[in-house]
Amino acid sequence: MKRLLTLLALMLPVFSGAQNLTITHLSETHSMVRVSGKDRYVLLPIQETAQEAVVKVLSNGHEVYKANVSLAIDKTDYLVPLDLSPWNGSSILLDITMKQGRSVRRDPSDDVCWSEMTSSPVFDAGNKEKKYRPAYHFSPAWGWMNDPNGMVYKDGEWHLFYQWNPFGSFWGNMTWGHAVSRDLVQWEHLGAAIVPDALGDIFSGSAVVEDNQTQSIAYSLDNGRTFTKYAGNPVIMAEDTPDFRDPKLFWDNQTRQWKVVLAAGQEVQFYSSHNLKDWTYDSSFGLSYGNHNGVWECPDLIRLPFEGKDKWVLLLNINPGGPFGGSAPPPPAGWTTARTTMPPSPGATLRKAAPWPSRG
């Protein structure tokens, strides 16, 4: 028994990395990092060619965040910050599972990420790549970005939200990044506005400004600096509908209602609401019309005056299989799409609203 206990101790090396970090290797692929200080960030070393590791943030023993990160094995290409401020004052552990296959057994501490991982009170988000950045158009200080979302104007500021991977230069960890500008030229990067959770990643969407308070699936009471996810989520559900995505939200002055148009498999669906919480299914379009060679995504609905009357223009994107080529190549051979469920009946109320929290 004594020999067995000694062997187990050798399999669980513990060492101190940078200040305020204690790293324990539970196996060749599983490690724990205890954050003991009050620094805001843990700086994660990234290697572009490394397979992604799963990094879970545990706050007081509960998983509160998860991301896929290409932690450095042989060399560090750059550092990215993991912001711990949402869990300030709690006990923080990073539960890290490496996916890299190993051709030979070796000590997991040989991976360079463990010796170069550090905690820090600040992260220099200054643009160090000005030679490669657009002169006027926005780009995040680090990470990968995709669709811009939710451009709104409030109290002298333009707010831009966008799909963002804060942990690499490639698609993944879909988060809403946030930036503000007073002139649409100079931008202030504000970091993550809404992060993934158990309901899924944060993909395409839109934002609105309401006269009393921002009432959306995630709402803000401080001009978009922080967001709280609505306790009644999700407010619109579609069971077994593929690619139920990309809501475009707007206020319709004629009907005095909020409207949303979204992609639902091989059609678009239209919903209405008086309070942004209780949504009613109105209608759908497209199941028997148009191009069905790819995923229907990112719809928009615009009212335009034409010969003295208002006309509604529906915009839609298709990927892959766009009729004009470009960034939407033809679909693979044998690729098909199909809707698996019928939408709710017109006029159906989808769920009962939960109360909005007090402003305090």
Q: What token pair was written down for 84? A: 């711990």
pTM for this prediction: 0.67
Give me the number of domains the chain comprises. 2
Residue at 24 is within a domain: yes
Q: How many other C-beta atoms are found inside a 10 Å radius of the C-beta of residue 280?
A: 17
Question: How far apart, in whole angstroms, are the C-alpha atoms of residue 187 and residue 210?
Answer: 24
Catalytic residue among 83, 147, 201, 243: 147
**46 & 177 share domain:** no
19-76: pLDDT as tens digits = 689 999 998 889 999 999 889 999 999 999 999 999 999 999 999 999 999 999 999 9
Which pLDDT does position 325 carry in this prediction? 62
Whether the per-residue pLDDT at 328 is higher than 80: the answer is: no
Residue at 355 is within a domain: no
Mean pLDDT of 192-220: 79
Q: Is the peptide bond before 108 cis (omega within 30 degrees of 0)?
A: no
Whether the per-residue pLDDT at 5 is higher than 80: the answer is: no
Residue at 59 is within a domain: yes
Mean pLDDT of 246-271: 91
For position 242, which CATH number holds?
2.115.10.20
Which pLDDT does position 195 carry in this prediction? 93
Q: What token pair was written down for 81? A: 């910050």
What one-letter code names the amino acid at 66? K
**56 & 180 share domain:** no
Residue at 187 is within a domain: yes
Residue 318 confidence class, pLDDT cut points 50, 70, 90: confident
Question: How far apart, in whole angstroms, are the C-alpha atoms of residue 264 and residue 299?
Answer: 10
Residue at 195 is within a domain: yes
Which pLDDT does position 353 carry in this prediction? 46
Residue at 209 is within a domain: yes
Q: Which of 319, 335, 353 is the last residue of a domain?
A: 319
How far, in whole angstroms, is CA 208 from its chain's centroid?
Answer: 18
* Residue 147 is a catalytic residue: yes
Domain containing 171 equals 138-319
**278 & 221 share domain:** yes
Which residues, 6+ apart, have CB-to-CB distance to 258 below 8 Å? Answer: 208, 249, 250, 251, 252, 272, 273, 274, 275, 276
341 vs 250: which has the higher pLDDT: 250
Question: How far apart, in whole angstroms, are the C-alpha atoms of residue 70 and residue 96?
Answer: 11
DSSP symbols for 33-101: EEE-S--SEEEEEE-TTSPPEEEEEEETTEEEEEEEE-B-SS---EEEEEE-GGGTTS-EEEEEE----
